[in-house]
Structure 1
């Protein structure tokens, strides 16, 4: 089909109406007595002919857009959000928490169930939530309580704090994170309340998950009371490089070989993969292998990461 040649005058007039006078395509169509589809084609032609030039004046000090797109394309991620690497670990975690808060405020919808895991990065999120209306969503933990470590990094507490900030609802899982035998687990998950709670895992719409590393989190894992240093050494020897919702995975994202995973009271890895939107949050160059394992295992669709870790991941691949 031969493409229509539009006059320069028509392209300029149409462009001025659209870009300078803020008229929409329906209004231009009526004004110029042409169809809306013709208006669209004229505007496209004006850009192609160089009559319209679009310049984005980016006020950001550090522009990570290109780096984010590179990671999205390379790893097939829905979205990547890169933040500044702070002067120390605490600042980096705050930057990640702020970005995660902005992201979930943008994407959550009424009626959704939002699952959360635990950790020192996720606990930074609630303080950055800016919300002045009731959100009809429900926050739930994706696993039981994490032993003796600080209460504010527990999944129940993070779910509660986020629900508070969003003027939303929360449901809590009153169970330990892990038990010492499969017999004990089977007994626990047949409890009526816990059994009902587990059904919620199939209805999670959005998951907020920290990405941990047994190589870096040894003190927190040991402090939890569920692991000894010998346990950590054994996990590393077996190939564990990351944990998601406290489920260990190897460099390829597989978790079947880790016996500890079977005794966790919480969501399992296969269910995580089925959640429509999974958000992985992690920072530090040292977590490169853990983040890559989570990506390879298809556990995350959105990644919120700091610049140092992002560049390290791209350089590795």
Structure 2
């Protein structure tokens, strides 16, 4: 009987019959012994939760070719979000983050430990998340958010709360500064049992979700616009040829991070730790983040990439220019310095 089945089971069966078996909603209603309006609601739920993802492929659509090129070069699963060139940067980010939220949902399982980095992009993703009940899952904050002007707790905790609510997961905040004044202070804090508990969760992450920070972004990255860095810090990053960051850990265009002094004071996870996470979802919007994105990809930080079409096109075209200059792409290990 219909009453003995879970709503999730009905949603899955309705989606399979409608999208895979080409049954009408009337036929599905008869088989499930529900009303036609109930079938309509089940199909809407399937789309909203990401169980079903509708893709429209036009013969003029360049997204598949861009995805193939990026996948071949960087060995990542990639989703290119088609957006007209006339759309402004803020709207581009909203569309990319909506797609990201719908892509992430089906990937989240029970008993997962999901690391989330705060930032403007992931904040936008968190606003579009749809509910998916899991059991025994944990959302852990990847980096501290405090600075000399604010504790950062309100900003970061709201992002973590949305992820926790969406997936029925326990939330573990990381109430430390984004950057310590002294590297020695960080070393001492990292010996505290309360901090070690959070670090232990990060070490056991099954998924990490993050954007790429860039000082040159048209929509400013929160770490650069929120008072986290002073002029001395900015000069230090420029001297080290830094192009971007993930979870307030900085890297160069070739993906290397050795010798970047500010990383010694950062509360974010070491890039080597991130590379050990099985699923690493990177969300990027805006061509102004291209250099940071290329550095993150060179560092091998992502297994999954969600980005807008214009940025994807610029990434592929810039790679093509590099190929012409050197007579072929460098192997990944050589490009990343690993």
CA distance in 2 between counterparts of 1:73 and 1:259 reads 33
Structure 2 gap ranges (5+): 1-19, 24-53, 320-338
Give 1:133-172 correspondences, 5 Å limit.
133-147=133-147, 148=149, 154-172=155-173
Sort the Cα spacing of 1:189 and 1:20 in 2 relative to 1 into closer, same or farther, 3 A: closer
CA distance in 2, matches of 1:142, 1:206: 11
Deviation at 1:175, TM superposition (A): 1.2
1:306 counterpart residue number: 308
How far apart are 1:58 and its partner, in Å?
Answer: 6.4
- Say which SS state the counterpart of residue 131 (structure 1) adopts: coil
Residues 188, 199 of structure 1: CA spacing in aligned structure 2 closer, same or farther, 3 A cutoff? same
User: What's 2:68 paired with?
Assistant: 69
1:287 aligns with 289
**Matches of 1:109 and 1:219 in 2, distance apart?**
29
Change (3 A) 1:149 1:90: farther
- What is the CA distance between 1:157 and its match in structure 2? 2.9
Distance 1:152-1:84 versus aligned 2 partners, 3 A rule: farther
Task: Give the 3 Å change call, closer, same or farther, for CA 105–152 of structure 1 in structure 2.
Answer: farther
Q: Who is 2:183 aligned against?
A: 182
For the residue of structure 1 that corresponds to 2:212, the secondary structure is strand
Matches of 2:161 and 2:65, distance apart in 1: 36
Cα distance change on mapping 1:59 and 1:298 into 2, 3 Å = closer
**Deviations for 1:96-136, whole angstroms, at most 9, x for unmatched residues?**
21111111111111111010111111111122222253454
* Higher gyration radius (CA): 1
Number of corresponding residues: 264
Residue 185 of structure 1: SS of its match in structure 2?
helix
Partner SS, residue 241 of structure 1: strand
What is the DSSP-based 3-state SS (H/G/I as helix, E as strand, rest coil) of the residue aligned with 1:121?
A: helix
Aligned alpha-carbon RMSD (Å) = 2.7
Q: 1:141 to 1:170 in 2, by over 3 A?
A: same
| 1:226 corresponding residue in structure 2 | 228
In the TM superposition, residue 191 of structure 1 has moved relative to its aligned partner by: 1.8
Residue 38 of structure 2 corresponds to: none
Give the 3-state SS of the residue equivalent to 1:158 in structure 2.
helix
* Structure-1 residue corresponding to 2:103: 103
2:273 aligns to what SS in structure 1?
helix
- 1:296 counterpart residue number: 298
State the 1:234 CA deviation: 2.9
CA contact (8 A) 1:163 1:169 kept: yes
Contact in 1 for aligned 2:145/2:151 (Cα 8 Å): no
* Alpha-carbon displacement from aligned partner over 1:257-306 (angstroms, at most 9, x marks no partner): 21100111231111011011111111111111111111111111111111
The 10-residue stretch of structure 1 (152-161 or 234-243) with the greater mean CA deviation from structure 2: 152-161
Q: Could you give the per-residue CA deviations for residues 58-107 of structure 1, whole angstroms, max 9, x where no partner exists?
A: 64565622321221112211x10111346112111111211111111111
